[in-house]
Amino acid sequence: MLSISSLTADVLLPLHSGLSLSDSLLFIALSAGTVFSILIALLSFVAFVRRRTISYLLIAVAFSTFLGKTSLGLTYLMGRMNPEMHHSFEHSLDVVMMALVLAAVYYARSSEGRELGSD
C-alpha cells in the first residue's frame, strides 16, 4: 500500500539519494523541463538582443545551461550515458552556470552597462 509519507519522500528527496521516480514520470518531468528551458533560453536571448550588453549575453548563455542539463537527463534516461558521466557533466554545467553568472555581475558592475561594441 502506498502511503502519503512514502509518496512525499519519493517526490521531495533528490534523485541522486537513491530514491527514484518511475521512468515515465521522470520522462514527463524532463520533457517539461526541456520545454521550459527552451522558453527561458529564448526569452533571455531576446532580452540580450534588446539590451545588447555583455552581461545580458552571459546571463542568456548561463540560462542555456538549463537546456544542457535537461538534455543530459534525457540522454541518461535513454541509456546513452552511464551514471558517472551524467553526474560529472551535470555538475560541470553547474560550475559553468555559476561562472557565467559571476562574470555577468562583475562585468555589469565594472562597465556600468556599456552596450556591446561601444568604447
Three-class secondary structure of residue 13 per DSSP: coil
Return phi, psi of residue 47, to 5°.
-60, -40
Cell of 110: 565594472
pLDDT range class, residue 9, cuts 50, 70, 90: very low
Residue 117 pLDDT > 80, yes or no?
no
pLDDT range class, residue 13, cuts 50, 70, 90: very low
Residue 56 pLDDT > 80, yes or no?
yes
pTM metric for this prediction: 0.67
Q: Where are the domains of the chain?
A: 21-111
